[in-house]
Amino acid sequence: MQPVVDLRSDTVTQPTERMREAMAAARVGDDVFREDPTVAELEQLAARMVGHRAGLFCSSGTMANLVAVLAHCQRGDAVFADTDAHVLHYEAGGLAVLAGTFPQPIRTADGNPTPEELEAAVPPPDVHRPHPRLVWLENTHNRAGGVAYPPERTAAVAWWAHARGLRVHLDGARLFNAAVALGVPAADLASPADSVMVSLSKGLSAPVGSVLCGSEEFIEHARRWRKVVGGGMRQVGVLAAAGLVALREMVDRLAEDHRRARALAEGLAQVPGVAVDTHRVHTNIVLARVADAAAVVEHLRAHGVLALALDPHTIRFVTHRHVDDEGVERAVRAMREAVVSARR
């Protein structure tokens, strides 16, 4: 039997042998007492790579994003995000349930708001409305198909927001994919924002963890909120060690995932009944439009190819280091058969 080609997400990646060795040999201490040297090293490295002064290791991107909101906002404050932002679709409503903030979706042209779109959507402070506090960006943008936004986009939004007393948080779960695709340092994409979260457990292949970065004052504030939501961890250097390997050794190879995503997109675009906007395939995510996404996904599964239906007509495929060229070819063949089967 052929191995499964798992294109559901880059979160399915397994740690490398170097990560396992680093985890076994990690120096550890109680991180709540700030005595874990491996965690401190990871936080410093991540912050430096994204152009910020300090970092905070969190168990997940969802936790890091939530902690960022708690640190930036008061209860009742408004958070402005694209209607398809990950935080509005996949983070269990934490903005409202735990942070007590008021999500304000903005319909944007390409996944992230521009200053002009924000100007039209963000009202001036008024006693009748939630207080405008935080602008939310996402790079790369998941539901937009892994689109990578250049440095000037973040800089323009940050300038607009700061001029009006708002703060900017960047959900950079796949920020290093964006940096590799654009050929720029990650710091160029992240430093204009007040805070940024980067994930270690997607294409970088660490088993768990994200790092929230910002100013030293912001991270001190965020550290308390991490404790409030149960994120204080003890001898967690065993996990941070894998994160160090991820940042030092796994960033450049993301280009391979991007190349395979491009090949997958071009192959799927040749399948009758499948629509793919190849111009929007910047990184490792491919969105395919079909008549019946659920039926097609089930057929793919039966033929050893896993993908996710985002809505009744959209299927998401995500390449990562466990998907090779042959896996891409298998996925295209299975898709061709699946579309024919779904029509019967």
Per-residue pLDDT of the chain (344 residues; tens, 9 = 90+): 678 999 999 999 999 999 999 999 999 999 999 999 999 999 999 999 999 999 999 999 999 999 999 999 999 999 999 999 999 999 999 999 999 999 999 999 999 999 999 999 998 888 899 999 999 999 999 999 999 999 999 999 999 999 999 999 999 999 999 999 999 999 999 999 999 999 999 999 999 999 999 999 999 999 999 999 999 999 999 999 999 999 999 999 999 999 999 999 999 999 999 999 999 999 999 999 999 999 999 999 999 999 999 999 999 999 999 999 999 999 999 999 988 776 66
Query: 282 and 142, same structural domain?
Result: no
Radius of gyration of the chain from its Cα atoms, rounded to whole angstroms:
20
Query: 115 and 77, same structural domain?
Result: yes
- Residue 325's contacts (CB-CB under 8 Å, 6 or more residues apart) are 260, 263
CATH number of the domain enclosing 70: 3.40.640.10
Instruction: For residue 243, give its domain range.
Output: 17-249
Query: 259 and 238, same structural domain?
Result: no
Q: Which of 249, 276, 305 is the last residue of a domain?
A: 249
Structural tokens at position 2: 């052929």
Query: 265 and 234, same structural domain?
Result: no
Q: Which of 203, 228, 249 is the last residue of a domain?
A: 249
Query: 325 and 178, same structural domain?
Result: no
Q: Which pTM value belongs to this model?
A: 0.96
Give the total number of structural domains in the chain. 2
Query: 157 and 64, same structural domain?
Result: yes
CATH number of the domain enclosing 289: 3.90.1150.10
12-33 core/surface letters (b: 16 or more CB in 10 A; e: else): bbebbebbeebbeebebbebee
Query: 103 and 228, same structural domain?
Result: yes
Choose among 9, 5, 3: nearest CA to 332. Answer: 5
